[in-house]
Structure 1
Amino acid sequence: MSDYVDFISGSDRDCAIVAHRGAWHGAPENSIPAIEAAIENGYEIVEIDVRRSADGQLFLLHDDTLERMAGIARMPEEFTLAELGAITLRNADGGTGAAMTAYTVPSLAQVFETTRGRIFIDLDLKDLSLFEDAAALARQMGVSRQVDLKADVDTEAEMRWVRAHIEGSDVPFMAKARFLNGQGDESARNVIASGAFMCEAKFSDLTALAEQAERLNSAGIPVWVNTLDPVNSAGFRDSEALRHPDGIWGKLIAAGVSIIQTDEPKALQAYLRGAS
């Protein structure tokens, strides 16, 4: 597998598919089986959520409590990594109607061992204080060029944080920017100044996105957009894409987007194959 930056900057690649919390429709989100499914289905990137355990270890879980995924109304950070590794997870995206599985909360080290040389990883750190430890673990396990770390760059305070923590790092950095309410130019300037290898963009309308995508693509910074139903821009969401893929995924690609994060990676993959 190529270097993550080389892959993203490749001029001949198709739109990359990001499987949100893994390919979780047949396995618990943020679990090793969900990540394995993303690899087996040929998705290019898997997004995972990272937290720190009571004994200082990094592990995967999205929510502030274990209620949705394990039926335990406690904060996951209250448990040691060994204790988390004994907690079984509900299937798919959890909730009281989901069946309990035999799969447990994985450590980030387990994920890196699973994914090394097989798929790129977007690390969604639930606290930016995890940034240096996540980078150090990636280096230690030989996957530092197969993962990304990301942070917002819209304000001067956010840019100061990025300059303090990113400069000189060998781990690829993705800038998160909002192209909203006529302020897209400043955000785009910050993205370029940050040295990011790609940009996760939120936008107020498709015209605003297309203008900034052209600017960023010209600067060698490809654009990523989320079409997740809870986290979307201007109504460009998965549920609508399942009904009208040309009107959602197709329009985003036409506007200059070349990385899409989705909860429907199988449908996006089928759409891209049909459109090619």
Structure 2
Amino acid sequence: MLLAGIGAGVINAVVGSGSLITFPVLMAVGYPPLVANMSNSVGLVPGNFTGAYGYRHELSGQRSRILRLGAVSLAGATVGAVLLLKLPPGAFTTVVPWLILLAGVLVLAQPLLRRALDAHLGTQRTTDHALPLYTGIFGCAIYGGYFGAAQGIIMMALFGLFVSENLQRLNGVKNICVGLANSVAAVIFIAVGQVAWLPALLLAVGSTIGGYIGARIGRRLPPNALRGCIVVVSFVAFTVMMLK
């Protein structure tokens, strides 16, 4: 569990989708899906923030963007966590693999899509103030509060389309937004859900270490390499989830 937490922390800081490691491990050692999901959300929170700390230089000058997108992420994750407690367990998981695949395709096609948007909209091109971005991040956070695997991949796809910014700087923002979404979900799960504390604590220690390591790795990747990592992980995640 500790090693799974380290691995998930690394992947979450660089790309997202670390839950695809930790959630199956929790299931394999005998925890039911609902408990595994809640414990996983609690355990991965520290890694999101050590990953964000590793990107602190890239986060410089983005306070306003972080406050806006962070607030949207908190609101969406609250809705998602409540839905997890109220809806049948399989309500969202049917579409999860397809969301991950769509996010990977969007990241892969991002340069072409951005050029098309620029040509179509000209000076009115979408920015990080655009309604589509906030709507997408809100939906992404709902999904994150509910399940969360590959939330970071979906968020990076949205950023790539609707925010005019360096990919590495956006990756730092992604780590904060995902951390906030996981945090509010974790608080709700701790208050009214079922958390297996021993694995959650082991995941917390591991993800704390892995998040910092992942940030050091991710910051050294050129934009195209980072985009390639996101695409590869998303397609692997889609394949694994479809097989399951």
Structure showing greater Rg: 1
TM range (shorter): under 0.3
TM-score, structure 1 length as denominator? Answer: 0.25
Larger strand proportion of the pair: 1
TM-score (structure 2 length as normaliser): 0.27
Structure with more helix by fraction = 2
